[in-house]
Every structure is written in structure tokens, then in C-alpha cells.
Amino acid sequence: MDWEDAGVERNMVWQSIDVEREALADQLAQVDEAQWSTPSLCAGLTVREVLAHLTVSGAVSGPRWFAGVVRARFDFDKQVEDRLREQLGTSSSETLSRFRSTIGSRTSPPLPRLALLGEMVVHGEDIRRPLGLVRDYPAAALVALLRYYAGTNQVVIAKKRVRGLRLEAVDTGISLGEGDVVRGSTVALIMAMTGRSAYCAELTGPGVAELEARTS
């Protein structure tokens, strides 16, 4: 089903979030202990720490999130770090268990549902790529996220990065924007427009150099 035609119904987005949470948890259940310390695509964070960050999205309510912001004296970076450490646990198995417990949760910080789904895909790739893991994402979810990120700078700068560029997703047939073409898989486009320069190597077209410059 095309999520744009369906109005991106809230229940559909929540179901997709659960699908991504379960898929990531199942894949990470197979990694060995040493791999949990692998640097992620998030600078300065291991894959275990990124997973703890993802747990926050299903464990911390709006009021708790705001209370943490106040405690951090409105230092949002400190708030993110505090919540990550809160969910890390004492071992990798506890980190994974805490994350798995968010499957089915409808608790979340004050973020749009598509932003929560976007975190699952983007941070999921931040974890998977360094570990050599691959995920075949549902096309409808990717299309919804490509359109979402192309139209917003909320939570993560994305719209600004692709201003004046035309995005062409070769696997889903979606084209967005006007200008120099950037062509590639929907996942690679999403990751590049959310600041992951490593994915620019998977893109083609005259606009790639400009997009790569904007990710650095």
C-alpha cells in the first residue's frame, strides 16, 4: 500500500517500527561479544551504544524526556547521552534485552512517528553496515521515509542537504526535487541525506559531489 495515498496512518507506522525493531534484534542476537564494541557509523559510538540510544525511543515518554532536558539544563546533547547510558545496561545481552522489550511499545519521546521509524532505519544501518549485516527493508517504509526526510529538517538535517538536487531511487521508482540528479537505492539516498557520507559511494549522477560535500 502507498503510504502517501493512505495518509500515512499512525497504526501502519507503528507496525513498521515494530517490524524494524524485531528484525534488528533478531540479527543482533547472532553477533559475538567482540562485535558489540565495533565502531558504528555514529561518530564516537559503538554499535552497542547506538542500540541503547534506539531503546530510548521506545522506553522514554514525553514527560520523562522533558524532565531529562530540564535536568540537563537544556543541553540536548547531554540529554541524549544521559538517556543512552540509562538504557545501556551492564552487558551486551542486557542492552539487547532492553531493546527487544520495546517491540510493541507505544511509548515514545515527543517525535513524529515517521521520525521514530526513520531512527530505526538510519540507526539500524549505522549498526548493520560496520557489522556486515544486510536488511531488505519493506519498500513502502523506505518510500515514506525518503519523502519525509526530503521535506523536513526536524530531528536531523535532511531537506537542507538535498536542496537543489533531484533524487532518483532506482529500486522504488521515486523521484523527488529539481536540479542535478543523484541516483541510487532508496536506502543509500536516505542515508546520504541524513549525513552518512559513506553511502555516497553507492550513488551516481552529477549531483553526488555536491551532496557528499554537504554531508561532511
**What is the secondary structure of 127-196 as a DSSP string?**
HHHHHT------HHHHHHHHHHHHT--SSS--TTTTTTEEEEETTT--EE-SSEEEEE-HHHHHHHHTT-
For 59-78, the pLDDT digits (tens) are: 876 667 666 656 656 555 66
- What is the residue whose three cell numbers read 515514545? 108
194 pLDDT above the threshold of 90: yes
State whether residue 39 is helix, strand or coil: strand
* Residue-level pLDDT at 142: 96
Contact 183, 203 (CB under 8 A): yes
The grid coordinates of residue 178 equal 529539481
Which pLDDT tens digit goes with each residue over 18-37? Answer: 999 999 999 999 999 999 99
Digit-coded pLDDT (tens) for 150-177: 999 988 999 999 999 999 999 999 999 9
- Grid look-up 543541553 returns 75
Average pLDDT over residues 120-135: 98
pTM exceeding the 0.75 threshold for the entire prediction: yes
Mean pLDDT of the chain: 90
